[in-house]
Amino acid sequence: MYFNFEFILIATFATVFAGISKGGFGSGAAFASAAILATIIEPGSAIGIMLPLLILMDFGSLKPYWRKWLSRESWILVVGSIPGVILGALLYSNVSADFFRFLIGIICLAFVFWQALQTWTTIQKPIRPLSDFFGIFLGCFAGFTSFISHAGGPPAAIYLLSKKPTKTEYQATTVIVFWAVNLAKAVPYTFLGLFTLETLFLDLILSPFALLGVWIGVKAHFIISERLFFSFTYILLTLTGARLIWVALV
- The tens digit of pLDDT for each residue in 59-72 reads 877 877 788 888 88
Contacts of 5 (CB under 8 A, 6+ apart): none
SS3 of the chain: the string is: CCCCHHHHHHHHHHHHHHHHHHHHCCCCCCCHHHHHHHCCCCHHHHHHHHHHHHHHHHHHHHHHHCCCCCHHHHHHHHHHHHHHHHHHHHHHCCCCHHHHHHHHHHHHHHHHHHHHHHHHCCCCCCCCCCCHHHHHHHHHHHHHHHHHHCCCHHHHHHHHHCCCCCHHHHHHHHHHHHHHHHHHHHHHHHHCCCCCHHHHHHHHHHHHHHHHHHHHHHHHHCCCCHHHHHHHHHHHHHHHHHHHHHHHHC
pLDDT tens readout for residues 189-224? 999 888 888 888 889 999 999 889 888 887 776 676
Q: How many domains does the chain have?
A: 1
pLDDT exceeds cutoff 70 at 119: no
Q: Residues of the chain with pLDDT > 70: what percent? A: 84
Higher pLDDT: 246 or 78? It is: 78
Q: Is the pLDDT of residue 123 over 50?
A: no
CA distance linking residue 201 with residue 183, whole number of Å:
19
Among 92-96, 120-124, 174-178, 241-245, the range scoring the smallest mean pLDDT is: 120-124
- Mean pLDDT, the chain, whole residue set: 80
Q: Which of 73-77, 116-120, 216-220 shows the highest mean pLDDT? A: 73-77
CA 183 to chain CA centroid, nearest Å: 13
Residue ranges making up the domain that contains 91: 5-249
